[in-house]
Amino acid sequence: MILSELHLHHFRNYEDQTVHFAPGVNVLIGHNAQGKTNMLEAIYALSLTRSHRTNNDRELINWQEKSASISGVVQKASGRVPLELQFTKEGKRAKVNHLEQARLAQYIGQLNAILFAPEDLSLVKGAPAVRRRFMDMEFSQMSSKYLYNASQYRSLLRQRNKYLKQLKYGQQHDRVLLDVLSDQLAAYGAELVVARFHFLQQLEKWAADLHYQISLNAEKLRLVYATQLKVTAETTVDDAYQQLLTIFKENKAREIDQGSTMFGPQRDDIRFLVNGKNVQSFGSQGQQRTTALAVKLAEIDLMKEQTGEYPLLLLDDVLSELDTVRQTHLLTAIQDKVQTFLTTTSLSDVARQLINEPTIFNIKNGTLIKEEE
């Protein structure tokens, strides 16, 4: 899929900007605080209806204005699809083919994008919550069923946690309702656990191959899904549901005492093993970066396998964080395969030689100017 056109209106520091992108590598060059990351943020928001930098949508609206909009045209194998996203103080509205979508979940998946920013290097060494968010954000784009189950699970988890707190402090006494919530939570939780296991198996297949190449055939990468359930390739959703339900029943008193849900996919993690050792604890910084890069690049192929279309790749000032070997692997991996948006303060000689006919845009104070060839 290709994002051929983008229009920003009162978004961050962009007043009114229309830009036409090339299907290959689009390089956004500019000094700091000129709007490079804002442009990538707009593309990411058009894809996932939310920013990767803030949970407060009001921050996306130019501070002097009451609303902002992002619209674009996506070229897919099936044809041309206009998308639009509007942000107001009251909330946000999404349109596909000029038709408003009743729920944002119906919109997600129209434009798939993978973002790789310097903070993504913390995917390996960061907290488990970073890796859970990574799974949810990426797998939701690949499967509408996963997106639905994750949304339902989060909603039920909030309800159950609230009810556990009320039981703890004696504000409620009916344990039958707790059993009902546990049953519903186990049903959606089982779907998530089984889906995550299978998606991670597929991701490992691509990531291991890339990691082997980047490490010059010296390291073998494995992804291990760390969950509280016993899950194998043969585990069915019903098996996982029965396991979760049993855990909830056996730990009912303990969870009431804690006032929160202590078991389920909200406690999951991914372990990255290189040559059998946990990279998070025992890997060098170079190995951690190689692992993060391999996993991010593997997503491109996994998304193509799952959806039939390559996603957009957004690289936010990543080149400055990678050495020459990793830069080379990154740029050759994406060459002539995915539409790429790359921000940088300056393009190194290595990058210029590796990128095949880049389209360069100079950004200054929220204005994009295409560099003439």
Residue numbering of the annotated binding site: 30-37
The letter for the amino acid at 37 is T
Parallel, antiparallel, or unpaired for β 312-316 and 340-344? parallel
Q: What single-letter DSSP state applies at residue 121?
A: G
Indicate the burial class of 174 (C-beta count within 10 angstroms; 0-12, 13-18, 19 or more): exposed
Q: How far apart are CA 94 and CA 69, in angstroms?
A: 10
Q: How far is CA 97 from the centre of its chain?
A: 24
Q: What is the CA radius of gyration of the chain?
A: 22
Parallel, antiparallel, or unpaired for β 221-226 and 269-274? antiparallel
Q: Per the annotation, where are the binding residues for ATP? A: 30-37
309 φ/ψ sector (left φ>0, alpha ψ -120 to 50, else beta): beta
Which stretches does DSSP call E strand in the chain?
2-11, 14-20, 25-29, 67-76, 79-88, 91-96, 99-100, 113-116, 221-226, 269-274, 277-278, 312-316, 340-344, 359-364, 367-370
Q: How far is CA 4 from the centre of its chain?
A: 22
Q: Look-up: residue for tokens 């159950």?
A: 160
